[in-house]
Amino acid sequence: MTALSVSITTLPHAEGLTLPDYATEQAAGMDLCAAVTADVTLAPGQRALIPTGLAIALPPGYEAQVRPRSGLALKNGITVLNSPGTVDADYRGEIGVILANCGTEPFIVTRGMRVAQMVIAAYTRVSWSQVSELPTSARGTGGFGSTGTSNLKSAS
């Protein structure tokens, strides 16, 4: 696997925090840390924009996806509200994480806490081809729930 070179800058309020890094050799996401200057308490049902103190310059054709951390979601009900959040290649401002507390207890975000993960992904831009009718498919126009919910085989 080849590495993609991405320019990154650390803002003053992130001094002393580590850059995003992969926790394991096969990890797809890098942890993002909270660059808060004081603890932020999220009451149940509350949301807040958590700064990371980082700004990046992605190459054209790439985006950064900001996603929840599964441990925070399972143990505390903490999620990234607009998941996945997209950082466009032409954005040069600070990366922020919109955390939401879906749990039942207050949650305290502390400086340096790993609050989200970031995945860098290539994307494709489309060129629309407007037609008067779409080709048919096996599914057709079946919408939400049309494929059922069970994957159990029927008893013979």
Q: Report residue 24 as tokens.
A: 């394991």
CA dist list (Å): 1 to 25, 28, 47, 127: 11, 12, 37, 29
pLDDT in tens, 35-61: 999 999 999 999 999 999 999 999 999
Q: Where are the domains of the chain?
A: 7-19+26-122
Q: How far apart are CA 74 and CA 76, in angstroms?
A: 6
Other CB atoms within a 10 A radius of the CB of residue 141 amount to 8
pLDDT in tens, 11-23: 999 999 999 999 9
- To which CATH superfamily is domain 7-19+26-122 assigned? Deoxyuridine triphosphatase (dUTPase) (2.70.40.10)
Residue 123: what residue type?
Y
Q: How far apart are CA 91 and CA 95, in angstroms?
A: 9
- pLDDT of the residue at 150: 83
- pLDDT of the residue at 141: 86
CB–CB of 13/53 below 8 Å? yes
Other CB atoms within a 10 A radius of the CB of residue 117 amount to 23
Q: Report residue 152 as tokens.
A: 């159990």
Residue 10 has pLDDT above 80, yes or no: yes
- pLDDT of the residue at 156: 59
Residue 69 has pLDDT above 70, yes or no: yes
- pLDDT of the residue at 146: 79
Q: How far apart are CA 72 and CA 93, in angstroms?
A: 26
**Banded model confidence at residue 155, pLDDT cuts 50, 70, 90:** low
pLDDT in tens, 81-115: 999 999 999 999 999 999 999 999 999 999 999 99
Other CB atoms within a 10 A radius of the CB of residue 85 amount to 18
pTM score: 0.88
Q: How far apart are CA 59 and CA 65, in angstroms?
A: 14
- pLDDT of the residue at 48: 98
- pLDDT of the residue at 57: 98
pLDDT in tens, 102-154: 999 999 999 999 999 999 999 999 999 999 999 999 888 888 887 778 888 87
Q: Pick from 43, 67, 56: which is nearest to 115 by CA?
A: 67
Q: What is the largest CA-CA distance in the chain?
A: 67
